[in-house]
Amino acid sequence: MKMLGVLGGMGPLASAEFMRQLTLLTPAARDQDHIPTVLWSDPRVPDRTEARVHGGEDPLPALVNGIRGLEAAGCGAIVIPCNTAHGWFDGMRGATRLPILHIVDAAADELRRQGVAEGPIGLMGTTGTLAMRLYQERLGFECLVAEELQESHVMPAVGLVKANRVAEAYAPLAEVARRLRAQGAKAVVLGCTEIPLGVAAGPALGFPVIDTIAALARAAIGWAKA
């Protein structure tokens, strides 16, 4: 079976959750049925939102360095369990011969898999992801964003997950998701890989949400089993 490369560390907990989801979602009856995988988890990659919104250090050299490591390990494709890093997708794709599975495409597939055929779709993500319009221009659905809660709720909650205070992130994230639902969202895309961890720390929201970690894992399984 082909080797999957995981360009991770952004953040480390999200990368670990991707590996867990990849394992749980893979149809397997024994060890040998699972997907050979190399996880490159490098938390030293410069902050992606800081780079895009505030002119911080460019993360692309560190991302390409990870890609080189995965190439050397013999991987046949790459996934990146960090939504904001996909703002440098073209630069990464231009630096490798390996296919890179795009997380927004995986989210669109997951919407269809859950029977969501039309928008609007609620979108939660980092300020960097929203500023780069990664979902608005690629998802294929009209997107709703709770801009008024972005800096007061979403970004602090993402920081809580990165600080391993996952349970504390649930309340602000659930409030944003419910606000989007009240505005008419047919489903809510959790477009930052820290957000599904926070949302999973409390009661189910009662409406469709798209876990982009799980969606990317399903895309990886589809690639490996093709």
Catalytic residues: 82, 192
φ, ψ of residue 190 to 5 degrees: the values are: -90, 80
* Cα angle for residues 110, 220, 3 (degrees, 5° grid): 180
CB neighbourhood size of 16 (10 A)? 15
> What's the CA gap between 84 and 96, in Å, rounded?
19
Nearest CA-CA partner of 80 in 147, 129, 148: 129
> What's the CA gap between 129 and 4, in Å, rounded?
25
> What's the CA gap between 119 and 136, in Å, rounded?
12
> What's the CA gap between 87 and 201, in Å, rounded?
28
Determine if residue 53 is left, alpha or beta; phi over 0 gives left, psi from -120 to 50 gives alpha, anything else beta: alpha
